[in-house]
């Protein structure tokens, strides 16, 4: 390989890395957008819930709020999944107590000192690499896990 070829292939590689980084960032932006959208929706439902409750109390009636509560539960589920994906992308975990973003692998929250829940891991039966719990295949050697 000539020096020029080497150089240009190096440039392409660097270019690819940058593109991948940009991809990761736009993915994060997308997720953050979805999270705030769902948070706004949740607030909306909570408001409706409060209003419905107030009206029913005022009228001295038993309000049926189960539908609203179901909607909120749905949004909560979506929010949880979105937050999880965002954390994975950013390589962080969220402190359960104070909500601080903590670097993955930290044992304690730097803000409040709470022990950080570590994501569950399993081991690859073939190469014994650590894998995220629920992985069906090893990301390092491709072996099927026992799960």
**Binding residues for Zn ion (CB under 5 A):** 95, 97-98, 100, 109, 111-112, 114, 124, 126-127, 129, 138, 140-141, 143
Minimum CB distance to Zn ion smaller for 33 or for 99:
99
Minimum CB distance to Zn ion smaller for 25 or for 112:
112
Query: CB of 35 within 8 A of CB of 83?
Result: yes
**Whole-number minimum distance, CB 130 to Zn ion, in Å?**
10
**Whole-number minimum distance, CB 142 to Zn ion, in Å?**
7
**Whole-number minimum distance, CB 39 to Zn ion, in Å?**
20
| Residue 104, Ramachandran bin (φ over 0: left; ψ between -120 and 50: alpha; else beta) | beta
- In this structure, what are the phi and psi dihedrals at residue 144, rounded to the nearest 5 degrees? -75, 135
Minimum CB distance to Zn ion smaller for 75 or for 124:
124
CA-nearest of 71, 87, 70 to 35 is 87
User: Strands (DSSP E) along 58-108, which ranges?
Assistant: 92-94, 101-103
Minimum CB distance to Zn ion smaller for 64 or for 147:
147
How many CA atoms, within 13 angstroms, populate the side-chain half-sphere of residue 68? 16
Residues forming beta bridges with residue 144, ordered by sequence position: 137
**Whole-number minimum distance, CB 117 to Zn ion, in Å?**
11
């Amino acid at each position: 390989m000539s020096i020029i070829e080497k150089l240009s292939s190096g440039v392409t590689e660097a270019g690819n890395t940058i593109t991948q980084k940009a991809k990761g960032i736009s993915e994060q932006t997308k997720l953050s957008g979805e999270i705030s959208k769902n948070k706004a929706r949740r607030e909306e439902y909570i408001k409706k819930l409060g209003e419905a409750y107030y009206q029913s109390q005022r009228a001295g009636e038993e309000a049926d709020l189960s539908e609203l509560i179901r909607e909120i539960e749905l949004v909560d589920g979506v929010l949880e999944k979105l937050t999880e994906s965002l954390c994975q992308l950013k390589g962080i975990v969220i402190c359960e107590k104070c909500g601080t973003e903590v670097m993955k692998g930290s044992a304690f929250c730097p803000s409040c000192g709470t022990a950080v829940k570590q994501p569950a891991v399993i081991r690859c039966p073939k190469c014994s690499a650590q894998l995220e719990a629920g992985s069906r295949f090893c990301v390092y050697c491709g072996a099927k896990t026992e799960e």
